[in-house]
Amino acid sequence: MQKKGLLRDVIQHLCCLPGVGPKTAQRMAFQLLQRNRDNAKALADILLKALAEIGHCQQCRTLTENTLCEICADPSRDTTTVCVVESPADVWTIEQATLFKGHYFVLNGHLSPLDGIGPDELGLDELEHLLAKGDVKELILATNSTLEGDATAYVINELAIKHKVEASRLASGVPMGGELEYIDRGTLSHAFKGRRKIE
């Protein structure tokens, strides 16, 4: 039997989700249409609602359904420290893992000239505007530890220097619980270069 019609369309669209291949998409489609119709309806409805209502925070550019996200709207948070991240997911990760109480700035990507992602797409003019105001004292560059993330951090560091804001980059090195034997050479060489005195 050829996969035809609506069912095939559902499966094809589910395939676009990250980490979902044709086999998983098929299983999902059958579950949604067979056992779980109420949930499928609810999922479709909430997705349409979210697409209509969720936009970017005017200040930090994370995803939110309000003008300002919760963090930017929270008066108890420190406005002098700004952590620059690549995606809204990174904000959640940092909030869960650390005690950071400053503000964020979400680039929604990294510099990638080949894909047409330049400073404008990352909102670097907004970031510069923020630095120019003089409120921010410290910038934490928490872009990914990849080639693109490093390049992006480098460019933002230049902005920080220009506006005389202190900028730092997340430490890179051996992950906690990591065994030297299994760590890639790049990480190990970074960890060697960045070695510190034991406190």
Structure letter (DSSP) for residue 196: -
Site string for a second copy, 129-168 (x = CB under 8 A): ----------------------------------------
Spell out the residues 6+ positions from residue 173 whose beta carbon is closer than 8 angstroms to its own.
187, 190, 191, 194
> What is d(CA 169, CA 95) in angstroms, rounded to the nearest whole number?
17
Q: Rounded to an integer, what distance in angstroms lies between the CA atom of residue 7 and that of residue 161? A: 56
Q: Provide the terminal-to-terminal Cα distance of the chain, rounded to the nearest Å.
A: 68
Q: Decide whether 3 or 162 has the Cβ nearer to a second copy.
A: 3
One character per residue 82-121, x = contact with a second copy (rule: CB under 8 A): -----xxx-xx--x------------x-------------
Contacts of residue 156, defined as CB under 8 A and 6 or more positions apart, other chains included, come to 84, 124, 127, 139, 141, 143, 167
Whether 44 and 58 have beta carbons less than 8 Å apart is answered as: no
Measured from the CB atom, the residue of 43 and 161 that comes closer to a second copy is 43
Which residues in 3-62 contact a second copy (CB under 8 A)?
Answer: 3-7, 9-10, 13-14, 16-19, 24, 26-34, 36-37, 39-51, 53-54
Determine if 79 is a binding residue for a second copy (CB under 8 A): no
- Residues contacting a second copy: total by CB under 8 A: 54
Q: Closest distance between a second copy and the C-beta of residue 132, in Å?
A: 27
Beta bridge partners of 82: 103, 139
Binding site for a second copy (CB under 8 A): 1-7, 9-10, 13-14, 16-19, 24, 26-34, 36-37, 39-51, 53-54, 63-65, 70-71, 87-89, 91-92, 95, 108
